[in-house]
Amino acid sequence: DAKTTQPPSMDCAEGRAANLPCNHSTISGNEYVYWYRQIHSQGPQYIIHGLKNNETNEMASLIITEDRKSSTLILPHATLRDTAVYYCIVRAPLSGNTPLVFGKGTRLSVIA
Amino acid sequence: DTGVSQNPRHKITKRGQNVTFRCDPISEHNRLYWYRQTLGQGPEFLTYFQNEAQLEKSRLLSDRFSAERPKGSFSTLEIQRTEQGDSAMYLCASSLNRGVTGELFFGEGSRLTVL
């Protein structure tokens, strides 16, 4: 699976949009981009995934560049409960039998 | 909706003892995963099952670690002759092997402290 690079930490003011970047310059054509987050003392939680089109759900939006070498997770109106470690992961589809491989992620602190 | 359940949530043991963790996945999920997480690190993949078959176990940390899923439902992770370096959070996740992506649903984890 392709390696990802994320900043170790970021701050965001409550109510503002949080934009979390991820570089995945070696991504292969069939690899998806996944985002998970982990709130303190809990297991990771799925947020969103995409292949090449931008995606949006009730939690967040995922913007993938046209060359697919980077992506941005957007939390449109961050709240204190969004304080967590956010993981960007790229992997092939399930049929490849490859597990999710987590890096160190970005620690997002939402500040009141 | 019952999520992934892990027991015990906390375990304190002395070095050299054996410990076993149990994971009950979401009922219709056929894939089950075990991860380990140490402080400041992301979860580290250990092994996974599809139904009762263990499809990947080369990343288990040593031969002291073993996992089973005998009837394709709950799973156990056993650590024999524990060492202080085994202290960590052990996470279980489950998913449906359907379609392309199959998001993972994680439990709250079992925290092991080896004295």
Partner-chain residue, chosen from A43, A93, A104, that has the shortest CB–CB distance to B42: A104
Which stretches of chain B sit within 8 Å of chain A by CB?
4, 33, 35, 40-45, 48, 55-56, 91, 93, 95, 97-109
SS3 of B53, please? strand
Each residue's pLDDT tens digit, B42-65: 999 999 999 999 988 888 888 999
Q: Under an 8 A CB cutoff, do A93 and B103 touch?
A: no
**Whole-Å CA distances, B66 to A56, A104, B72, B77, B79:** 39, 26, 16, 6, 7
More confident residue, B103 or A110: A110
Residue B99 has pLDDT above 90, yes or no: no
B54 Cβ contact list (under 8 Å, min separation 6): B47, B48, B67, B68, B69
Residue B99: closest CA among A79, A62, A94, A13: A94
Nearest CA in chain A to B34: A99
Each residue's pLDDT tens digit, A35-55: 999 999 899 999 999 999 899
Q: How confident is the model at residue A1 (pLDDT cuts 50, 70, 90)?
A: low
Task: Show the DSSP H helices in chain B as ranges.
Answer: none
Beta strands in chain A (DSSP E): 9-13, 18-23, 32-38, 45-50, 55-56, 61-64, 70-75, 84-91, 106-111
